[in-house]
Amino acid sequence: MGKILTVEQFAELMPNISRGWEKESGKIQTCIDDAEEVDLFEQLGNFYFELIAKADDEDFDNLLNGCEFEFEGVKMKHSGLRKYVAGLAYVRYLGVSNMTHTPHGYVNKLTQNSEPVSYNQIKDEKKEVQRAASIRFKTISNYLELNPEIFTSYNPKKSNSHSYNSLKTSTLR
């Protein structure tokens, strides 16, 4: 079974992360893995396993990378599951980006020329990214519903809420 998002794709889709993201690639990979294996599974249910198994199929390209489509007479565009997963991983990354393990424990990294972002500011940013992800998923869900012959095990009735690390958000607004 494959993966949906690489660290390099994450850095491309989330250009606001540090230019030195390569030094954090292990931490970012952990966030991506959790976003895919926990958050995306929670959202997609058993369709997650079909997605992982067929992620390299040409039929799944528009789902992963986004496309324009018409749903119930309305022209829509979705940005793709890769962008969605990047947002989920970014929410996770925000909480750990300035922390590091040392022989003396798990600490915040500080330098003379920087000031850490407050917990409340990080929490507010996470909520905004989560809100955007929730809205982004609605158009992805419409695309999935439009193509039941391709996405055979997708069930939108089982895919309508995110926990986002204890923050409940419904995609049905």
The pTM is what? 0.82
Residue 155 has a pLDDT of 87
Q: Does residue 163 have a pLDDT over 60?
A: no
Mean pLDDT of the chain: 85
**Euclidean distance between the first and final Cα of the chain, in Å?**
33
Interatomic CA distance for residues 45 and 91, integer angstroms: 20
φ, ψ (nearest 5 deg) of residue 6: -100, 165
Q: Does residue 165 have a pLDDT over 60?
A: no
Interatomic CA distance for residues 52 and 54, integer angstroms: 6
Interatomic CA distance for residues 31 and 19, integer angstroms: 18
- Name every residue whose Cβ is closer than 8 Å to that of residue 164 and which is 6 or more positions away in sequence: 39, 88, 91, 126, 130
**SS3 call for 71:** strand
Least confident stretch, 53-57, 109-113, 121-125:
109-113
User: Averaged over 48-71, what is the pLDDT?
Assistant: 95
User: Averaged over 18-29, what is the pLDDT?
Assistant: 85
Rounded to whole angstroms, what are the CA distances from 37 to 44, 148, 149? 11, 23, 24
Residue 167 has a pLDDT of 46
pLDDT digits (tens, 9 = 90+) for 126-158: 999 999 999 999 999 999 999 999 999 998 876
